[in-house]
Amino acid sequence: MSIKLKGSTDGSVTLQAPADTSPTGTDKTFTLPTQDGTAEQVLKTDGSGNLSFADNVSSGRNLIINGAMQVAQRGTSSTGQTTTGYKTVDRFRVVMSSGGTYTVNQSTDAPDGFSNSLHLDNTATATPGAASLLTVDYAIEGSDVQRLDYGTSGAKSLTLSFYVKSDVSGTYTVELFTNDGDSFIGKTYSISAGEVGTWVRRELTFTGNTATSIANDNTRGLTVVFWLVAGSNYTGGTFNDGSWDTTVANRVDSNQVNLSSSTDNDWYITGVQLEVGDVATKFEHRSYGDELARCQRYFQKYREPRLRGVGGGSTHLNRLGMTLPVTMRQAPTVTSTNTFAWYDGTGTGSINTFTATYNFPDSIELDSSNSVSVPNAMTGTTATSRGLVVYNSNGAHSGEILLNAEL
């Protein structure tokens, strides 16, 4: 049996019932929702024939890691910041050059549905010079953006969505930057006077780059840049306004807000999502454990490192090593802070300094031995060839191992 719906002028749509409903032989009834859905939504069933509209989304669509600002391995607050670096929230870098002084923190001020945001609080003003800048950026490996087909006629569009709150009304520039070819495309969003101090969601769509391809490797491929301060070196030309460009003076809108103008200025962001296509979908939430593992490809911090090794006698370690829980982007740079305790089954001592000996993306090997150049690397005496463990002695030591493979 079928039902045919004819158009007012021409054409028709046919709804065809299945030829056989075996093995049960029962009739099938589907109840439509009482209201229409929104654009891009699809009908879903509850298993009992009741239909409703739902978002047509798939997991893995967000190219941004830690977009909800959940993970902050380095700490939740960093004061007096004037230089570039990863400060608190993982994967989001603050880039500074004569753009003021800031406290950067992982804030609990967030819109509905989120627990955290990245917050920049101006604590000392600055008058921007030509080369001054303040940005928050997020870098994506080239191998993770090959689906975009940049450098071809089929280059795909990207849509960026985010929640933002600011004490400064005006125009803000956001850009995509390809590190291969140094090309960029910018769009602006506005905070109105009535929106100051409130959370708002913004959506921006960027056309694909048909001229410049992105190398398929583990270096910076595509970077999302949120501008907060920009000198005339970046605003002095004609703003590209949605067109790919390579002239530096065209990077930022000339009306760009200056966040460094007052110590009353604050800027918050969370819910950052970058996805293929022209439509912004609902934010793709991930568990904390999932986001942490993704972040650990770029940075890992250990307060109680799982270091195991062999003692060489007379305050000398032959080698300590650990296998990393997540393979990093490349062999990490290893640094240590404060002191650790060691134990060899009978004796104990402390370690003040580690030297990275062999580092790999999935493991590290460290030495710590007294020498003329490092006379106090270790204390205590361990027997030759005796196994050692490193620990933090129930909080008596505060050592940390930091592994950095950031882009």
Kindly list the structural domains of the chain, giving each domain's residue range(s) and its CATH number in brackets, ordered by start.
2-55 (no CATH), 77-295 (2.60.120.260), 299-404 (no CATH)
| Each residue's pLDDT tens digit, 10-58 | 777 566 766 665 655 567 788 888 888 776 577 878 878 888 876 656 6
> Please, are residues 89 and 66 in contact by the beta-carbon 8 Å criterion?
yes
343 sits in which H/E element: strand 340-343
What pLDDT, in 10s, does the model give residues 63-75?
999 999 999 999 9
Q: Which has more confidence, 388 or 138?
A: 138
| Residues 215/181, Cβ–Cβ less than 8 Å | no
Residue type, 248: V
Among 136, 65, 77, which Cα is nearest to 107's? 77
> What's the angle, vertex CA 334, arms to CA 382 and CA 224, rounded to 5?
160
User: Which whole number is the average pLDDT over 270-293?
Assistant: 98
pTM for the structure as a whole: 0.87
pLDDT band at 317 (very low <50, low <70, confident <90, very high): low
Q: 176 or 350, which is more confident?
A: 176
Q: What's the helix, strand, coil split of the chain in %, to 5? A: 5, 40, 50
Give the single-character DSSP code of 150. Answer: T
Residue written as token pair 């939430």: 285
3-state secondary structure of 62: coil
Across 115-138, average pLDDT: 98
Spatial contact of 32 and 49, defined as CB atoms under 8 Å apart: no
Asked if residues 360 and 323 have their Cβ atoms less than 8 Å apart, the reply is no
Q: Which of 257, 311, 318 is nearest to 135 (CA)?
A: 257
Higher pLDDT, 392 or 133: 133
| CA of residue 317 relative to chain centroid, distance | 37
Cα 35 from Cα 124, distance rounded (Å): 53
Distance in angstroms (rounded) separating the CA atoms of residues 333 and 402: 8
pLDDT at 15: 63
- In 214-363, alpha helices (H): 232-235, 288-295
